[in-house]
Amino acid sequence: MSTKKLWGGRFQEQAAAWVDQFGASISFDQLMAEEDIEGSLAHVKMLKHTGILSATDSDEIIAGLEGLRTDLAAGKLTFTVENEDIHMNIESLLTSRIGAVAGKLHTARSRNDQVATDFHLYVKNRLPQVIDEITTIQKTLVSLAEQNVTTIMPGYTHLQHAQPISYGHYLMAYYQMLKRDKERFEFNRVHTDVSPLGAAALAGTTFPIDRQFTANELGFASVYANSLDAVSDRDFALEFLSNSAILMMHLSRFCEELSMWVSHEFQYLELSDAYTTGSSIMPQKKNPDMAELIRGKSGRVYGHLMGLLATMKSLPLAYNKDLQEDKEGVFDTVKTVLPALKVFNGMLQTVHVNKERMQQATENDFSNATELADYLAAKGVPFREAHGIVGQLVLKGIQTHQNLQDMSLETLQQAAPQIEADVYHDLQSDVAVERRHSEGGTGFDQVKAQIAAAKEALS
């Protein structure tokens, strides 16, 4: 019994419908329809350029593909499970439109290099979108940092008050994380900007094709040097997922802190109503749901990375059907990351900073203890000894409910006679921040330098 499959010449039996359903990928890889038509157009133009196909046949196929592209943009194309994937669906639609000449399109090409090409194009087309959204957030961070150079907040280690810092300095830390994210995605472009087309199934082809021609048509910078590698490589997709996972981790860390900073216990920030939700039972609630969702969706992206790593880890060369599992995670990651970046930027642009509350939090703690230790070290006291002296004063302050700056000079001098009245100036939180002039530090001049460098880089 013959089969209607385009590849079914040697098959006598047809698969059951549920087997076809299990093996089909059209439910998700139709997202690459535009890329598939684009790749086919480049291929047939090459076949014409090299004389492998006649100009008459080539032009007829080109016209048919252009018609399909127009219909795709208008939402007029219908895909079927029977045709398995986007590649066979497009070829079937082309055949319906122009007849048997459509079968010549697949000359010197395999679905293996076709799908790899489509996937490269898909990722290549989305990387600039991700990079642009990251850049937008960087600009928002720089703008917000510039408004808050002299805003004082507690700096934390172990989620305990450590030393006072500039809120602008805090924001610029996330700018630097996103800078590294952007660099990773930029490098991802290098490995994505390579054409697999012409590798055929795995070994190349006997036809006199011109791979550089198709690469130029598709805007690829180069071609794969090895046909086995061309059809089996998914490093570019793994890089995209890995980069996305790191990016989402950075957003998640910020969102974790946002969720804390807007709580009643902190009240450092207030999010716009546009990025919060209420409770169905508690009328007073204003929940940072968008921040929590970004934090939650980071795990989704991690899962996609681990899924593709697990798929790839045991695959022999070259193409295997397992590689059909490479796309859904990438598609979903794109669908997750781009909205997350947009929402994150919106939250930042509309956040209200409670500057007074932030500074107050640095004046009712012992986050200026390092200032006193440094003060004594500058007076010639060995730092380890100064550390012990200040530690005893902190213990005394805890017991007497006094902050260091509230202790009398007599009390301070009993602990260390080197202490003089000028110590009270150094113990002020804004002074402590301003004086930290070391390169990359939280000193106001250093934060301004970071902002200036960021502005130059972003311009």
Q: Residue 206 is encoded by which pair of tokens?
A: 């006997």
CB count in 10 Å sphere of residue 399: 8
Burial of 303 (0-12, 13-18, 19+ CB in 10 A): middle
CB 101 within 8 A of CB 60: yes
Nearest-angstrom CA–CA distance, 4 and 272: 58
H runs (alpha helix) in 24-154:
26-29, 33-50, 55-73, 86-98, 111-147
Q: How far apart are CA 145 and CA 123, in angstroms?
A: 33
Phi, psi of 266 (to 5 degrees): -100, -60
Q: How far is CA 209 from CA 49, 108, 198, in A?
A: 9, 8, 7
Distance (Å, whole) CA 343 – CA 350:
11
Residue 165 and residue 124: Cα distance in Å, rounded?
40
Closest CA to 227 of 211, 214, 242: 211
Alpha-carbon gap, residue 246 to 187, rounded angstroms: 14
Q: Which residues contact 206 (CB under 8 A, 6 or more apart)?
A: none
Which residue, 42, 184, 186, is CA-closest to 113? Answer: 42
> Which residue intervals of 313-401 are DSSP H helices?
327-350, 355-361, 369-378, 383-400
Cβ atoms within 10 Å, residue 377? 15
Q: What DSSP element (H or E) covers 18? A: helix 17-23
Active site residues: 158, 279
How far apart, in whole angstroms, are the C-alpha atoms of residue 188 and residue 237? Answer: 9
Q: Is the dihedral of CA 127, 130, 133, 138 positive or negative?
A: negative
Residue 302 tokens read as 């991690």
C-alpha separations of 325 from 87, 217, 320 in Å: 16, 28, 10
Residue 392 and residue 373: Cα distance in Å, rounded? 11
